[in-house]
């Protein structure tokens, strides 16, 4: 946070970054329209396109009132193909990214990254470090080989890599899928790694309106874990095993499972409390954690359609969702679950933060072979240890198969 309370990143005002990258992305997507669709070639992963954005505008760029900047688009043809893989039409991507201001999210991470959410809740833009950007560039061919074989995954889906340059500062950004719906109240949010060392939300984090808790907090809040139907449990664990195998093959570590929990029974209680308050003459105050719904969010949740294909939590684990009729405001795709008290939950989840294992970047740079047949015991064993511990924690401590005693318990206990 800079002077006057204005959020800054590398001393550049966040609002300026936001506006400028929208101009940059708009130009990049527009420019792609003239390039015919074709198969992706290896060199498409290495391409970088740079555009200048002078104040007064140019033949290709509009005039603007931000500081002059350069905008780099990495691997534009390759990313177009990835967006295509997830059914994202160029016009829709443009609309999501550029037609309305982005919303800045408060980041619980220690890295100092800034997160922007598109107005329609579909995409997140995250600032990444130089090395993370380089790592993604090198990862792309192999990563998308995997996504192509298996688009049903909880792995992050990257839809663009950009660099905004202003006053000789570089701000690198990745566009990816948003995991947590903002139109529904998440009663709890967790960033889980399967480690217990220092894995507790800080005091400042806990004081926030909607804190992101960690492993130790989870074990305290849900000592018995969260319960899933047997089929759902199996599908979820299988997906995570498959995903961790991919991450391990790239020697990636330090990723998290992000879990957002909407408690349907709690939400109903909150609703009736609010009604009581209005009935007794008090004004109906919106809950603090409850974001205002934009018109579009509402339309989408009624249509039960997401722009990014097969990427809700339910679709990611290849399970069938039963519609939840009573809660017309709940977005589609949450995984039904229950807590130990038998309350009905909806889980929104995905794996995040996979780019920071750049210790291994040198290896990747070296040759593809060295990555696949790696003799180095340290770099082979640590990622496999990380993956195993992660999976153990998810499959034993966090998620449990529903015991039959909970299955038929009444959903409302009054």
Determine if 272 is a binding residue for Ca ion (CB under 5 A): no
What does 42 interact with, of ligand ATP, Ca ion, none (CB < 5 to 8 A by kind)? none
Closest listed residue to residue 327, CA positions, set 319, 336, 318: 336
Give me the least distance between CB of 40 and Ca ion, in Å please.
28
Crossing angle, helix 130-149 and helix 230-249, to 10 degrees? 130
- Residue in the shown chain whose Cβ atom is closest to ligand ATP: 109
Give me the least distance between CB of 355 and Ca ion, in Å please.
7
Determine if 111 is a binding residue for Ca ion (CB under 5 A): yes
Contact 173, 24 (CB under 8 A): no
Per-residue CA distances from 319 to 233, 239, 296, 312, 333 (Å): 10, 11, 27, 10, 10
For Ca ion, the binding residues in 350-369 under the rule CB under 5 A are 353, 356
Site residues (vs ligand ATP, CB under 6 A)? 107-111, 113, 115, 124, 176-180, 191, 212, 256, 258, 352-353, 356
Q: Which is nearer to ligand ATP, 124 or 394 (CB)?
A: 124
Alpha-carbon distance 256 to 374, whole Å?
25
Give me the least distance between CB of 183 and ligand ATP, in Å please.
13
Give me the least distance between CB of 353 and Ca ion, in Å please.
4
Closest listed residue to residue 340, CA positions, set 248, 284, 395, 409: 409
Question: What binding mask, one character per residue, do residues 316-355 give for Ca ion by CB under 5 A, x or -?
Answer: -------------------------------------x--
What does 106 interact with, of ligand ATP, Ca ion, none (CB < 5 to 8 A by kind)? none
Alpha-carbon distance 266 to 273, whole Å?
10
Determine if 202 is a binding residue for Ca ion (CB under 5 A): no
Give me the least distance between CB of 51 and ligand ATP, in Å please.
27
Determine if 215 is a binding residue for Ca ion (CB under 5 A): no
Interface with Ca ion by CB under 5 A: which range of 15-23, 48-56, 111-119, 374-382?
A: 111-119
Per-residue CA distances from 109 to 83, 126, 205, 299 (Å): 27, 12, 10, 32
Q: Which is nearer to ligand ATP, 190 or 233 (CB)?
A: 190
Contact 243, 390 (CB under 8 A): no
What does 115 interact with, of Ca ion, ligand ATP, none (CB < 5 to 8 A by kind)? ligand ATP
Residues at the interface with Ca ion (CB under 5 A): 111, 353, 356
């Amino acid at each position: 946070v800079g002077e006057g309370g204005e959020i800054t990143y590398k001393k550049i005002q966040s609002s300026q970054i936001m506006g400028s990258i929208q101009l940059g992305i708009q130009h990049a997507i527009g420019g792609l329209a003239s390039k015919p669709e074709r198969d992706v070639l290896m060199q498409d992963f290495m391409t970088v396109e740079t555009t200048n954005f002078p104040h007064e505008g140019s033949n290709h760029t509009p005039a603007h009132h931000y500081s002059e900047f350069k905008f780099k688009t990495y691997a534009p043809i390759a990313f177009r193909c990835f967006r295509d893989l997830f059914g994202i039409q160029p016009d829709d991507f443009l609309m999501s990214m550029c037609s309305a201001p982005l919303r800045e999210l408060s980041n619980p991470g220690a890295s100092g990254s800034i997160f922007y959410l598109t107005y329609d809740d579909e995409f997140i833009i995250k600032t990444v470090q130089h090395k993370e950007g380089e790592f993604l560039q090198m990862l792309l061919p192999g990563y998308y080989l995997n996504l192509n074989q298996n688009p049903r995954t909880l792995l992050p889906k990257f839809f663009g890599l950009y660099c905004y340059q202003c006053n000789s500062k570089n701000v690198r950004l990745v566009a990816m899928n948003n995991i947590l719906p903002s139109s529904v109240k998440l009663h709890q949010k967790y960033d889980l790694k399967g480690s217990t060392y220092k894995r507790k939300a800080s005091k400042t984090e806990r004081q926030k309106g909607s804190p992101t808790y960690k492993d130790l907090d989870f074990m305290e809040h849900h000592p018995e874990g969260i319960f899933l139907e047997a089929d759902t449990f199996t599908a979820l664990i299988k997906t995570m095993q498959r995903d961790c195998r991919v991450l391990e093959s790239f020697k990636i570590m330090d990723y998290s499972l992000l879990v957002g929990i909407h408690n349907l029974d709690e939400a109903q209680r909150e609703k009736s409390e609010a009604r009581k308050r209005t009935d007794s003459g008090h004004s109906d105050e919106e809950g603090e954690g409850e974001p205002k719904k934009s018109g579009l969010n509402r339309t989408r949740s009624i249509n039960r359609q997401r722009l990014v294909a097969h990427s809700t939590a339910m679709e990611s684990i290849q399970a069938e969702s039963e519609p939840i009729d009573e809660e017309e405001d709940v977005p589609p795709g949450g995984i039904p679950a229950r807590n130990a008290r038998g309350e009905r939950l909806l889980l929104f989840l995905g794996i995040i933060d996979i780019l920071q294992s750049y210790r291994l970047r040198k290896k990747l740079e070296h040759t593809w072979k060295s990555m696949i047949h790696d003799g180095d015991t340290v770099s082979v064993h640590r990622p496999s240890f990380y993956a195993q511990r992660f999976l153990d924690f998810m499959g034993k401590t966090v998620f449990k198969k529903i015991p039959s005693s909970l299955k038929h318990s009444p959903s409302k206990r009054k």
